[in-house]
Amino acid sequence: MRGQPILPIASRGPAANANPHNEKAGNAMIYELRIYHASPGRMSDLLARFRDITLDIWKKHGIEQVGFWTTYIGESNNDLYYLLKWDSLAEREKRWNAFQSDQEWLTKRAETEKNGPLTTSFSSYIMTPTEFSAMK
């Protein structure tokens, strides 16, 4: 099963799954945690696509990653976690939509999936730091 495209944030309405304890305060960044569940045997291909293709295209669109992680000890070593940072939801929507419709991305993504999809599904969470978080 492929992950569903993320709907524009504005279309979900302000109360959709909102956490009243995590209101964006002042200049706090917005972070997006994305979790990709790699297809069996395809994790190395997924990592290579990010390293060799995706990151350069993100730079072109001004998308800033905070970091990437794989599971060292835990439930699944077939998951890739990464964190993006945004100034606002409007910035996220503009830059992510531009990336998703970038012809270079569409072409290279298709090339990397000629032997089947690299992921079975993904999850995405838009998060704001708490008042006591080291990351703001």
CATH number at 66 reads: 3.30.70.100
On whether residue 70 sits in a domain, the answer given is yes
On whether residue 76 sits in a domain, the answer given is yes
On whether residue 45 sits in a domain, the answer given is yes
If residue 30 lies in a helix (H) or strand (E), which one and from where to where? strand 30-38
Q: 103 is in which domain, residue-wise?
A: 27-127
Q: Can you read off the two tokens belonging to residue 104?
A: 């270079």
Beta carbons within 8 Å of 99's beta carbon, 6+ residues apart: 57, 58, 61, 63, 105
On whether residue 98 sits in a domain, the answer given is yes
On whether residue 15 sits in a domain, the answer given is no
Q: What is the pLDDT of residues 30-83, one digit of tens each?
A: 999 999 999 999 999 999 999 999 999 999 999 999 999 999 999 889 999 999
Report pTM.
0.80
Q: What is the pLDDT of residues 1-36, one digit of tens each?
A: 444 444 444 334 444 455 554 455 456 789 999 999
In 3D space, the residue among 39, 129, 47 whose CA is nearest the CA of residue 82 turns out to be 47
Number of domains the chain is built from: 1
- Confidence class of residue 135 from pLDDT cuts 50, 70 and 90? confident
Q: Residues in the chain, how many?
A: 136
Distance CA 18, CA 61 (A): 28
On whether residue 1 sits in a domain, the answer given is no
Distance CA 122, CA 34 (A): 7
In 3D space, the residue among 65, 83, 89, 80 whose CA is nearest the CA of residue 16 turns out to be 89
On whether residue 68 sits in a domain, the answer given is yes
